[in-house]
Homo-oligomer: A and B are copies of this chain.
Amino acid sequence: MRPSGRNLSDMRPISIETGVMGHAEGSCLIRCGNTHVLCSATIEENPPRFLKGTGLGWVTAEYGMLPRATNTRNRREAASGKQSGRTQEIQRLIGRSLRAGVDRVALGERQITIDCDVIQADGGTRCASITGGWVALRLAVNKLLKAGAIVSDPIIDHVAAVSCGIYAGQPVLDLDYAEDSEAGTDGNFVLTGAGKLIEVQMSAEGATFSRDEMGQLLDLAEAGMTQLVAAQKAAVA
């Protein structure tokens, strides 16, 4: 009954290829089905002004989409002269999510910027960005540890994300675009490897949902996390 023929609780195949951007301190190309996102991590030893003297580190994120990542071409944000509200909302979410998995004291007074650029979009780009962004972050932090720049690992746990929604009256895991554009209710769930919640964003465009439905979607998300964390582990091994 799903357009892709998947079962209700099936995720799309996940692959994470690392080292795809040679200049970055960490990078990967994450593919969640037909959603492909390039993630890179940049370490800047010269921290932003608000960190100076605090001893704390910072993780931030930027998000973009190639103009033809989508079915019809979107105007290039650099050409239109500003990032859309959607772009800003997503990059703020990615940054907040990843910070929740980092011990800012252990990271020390430096900033790591995660760039997530969508090469091909088929729903769930913000979730793929978080999951892939964590891999890039992990690899960059590994470099810092190996170089002795930091002594204790600032990464507390895995951070990954998945979307779920009510599609054709049924709770489904890992919405693709065909489902996402039809779903009455959908949500993005960011969790840790240990299953704690970092962000829950549920929304019903022009509709409403119940606490029961919310619970069902959370159940699916928790199930999906196992696969995401496994893919992250395999990638950074």
| From B76, B117, B203, contact of A66 by CB (8 A) | B117
Pairwise interchain contact A204-B197, C-beta atoms closer than 8 A: yes
Pairwise interchain contact B23-A71, C-beta atoms closer than 8 A: yes
Pairwise interchain contact A81-B82, C-beta atoms closer than 8 A: yes
Q: Mark A19-59, 1 if CB is under 8 A from B, else 0.
A: 01111100100000010001010101000000000000000
Would you call A141 an interface residue if the criterion is a C-beta within 8 Å of the partner chain's C-beta atoms?
A: no
Pairwise interchain contact A23-B68, C-beta atoms closer than 8 A: yes
A residues 93-115 near B (Cβ < 8 Å) are: 96, 99-100, 102, 104, 113, 115
Q: Which of A9-17, A126-134, A143-151, A209-217 contacts B (4 or more CB under 8 A)?
A: A209-217
Would you call A169 an interface residue if the criterion is a C-beta within 8 Å of the partner chain's C-beta atoms?
A: no
Q: How large is the interface on A (under 10, 10 to 19, 20 to 34, 35 or more residues)?
A: 35 or more
Given contacts A21-B120, A82-B81, A218-B211, contact A62 B67 (CB under 8 A): yes
Q: How many chain copies?
A: 6
Would you call A89 an interface residue if the criterion is a C-beta within 8 Å of the partner chain's C-beta atoms?
A: yes
Given contacts A78-B77, A208-B192, contact A68 B24 (CB under 8 A): yes
Identity of the chain B residue whose Cβ is nearest the Cβ of A87 in the assembled complex: B78
Find chain B residues with CB under 8 A from A27 CB: 68
Would you call A236 an interface residue if the criterion is a C-beta within 8 Å of the partner chain's C-beta atoms?
A: no
Would you call A198 an interface residue if the criterion is a C-beta within 8 Å of the partner chain's C-beta atoms?
A: yes
User: How far is A23 from B38 in the complex, measured between Cα atoms in Å?
Assistant: 17
| From B42, B76, B203, B214, contact of A67 by CB (8 A) | B42
Would you call A226 an interface residue if the criterion is a C-beta within 8 Å of the partner chain's C-beta atoms?
A: no
| From B92, B198, B203, contact of A208 by CB (8 A) | B198
Would you call A223 an interface residue if the criterion is a C-beta within 8 Å of the partner chain's C-beta atoms?
A: no
Identity of the chain B residue whose Cβ is nearest the Cβ of A83 in the assembled complex: B78
| From B69, B76, B81, contact of A81 by CB (8 A) | B81
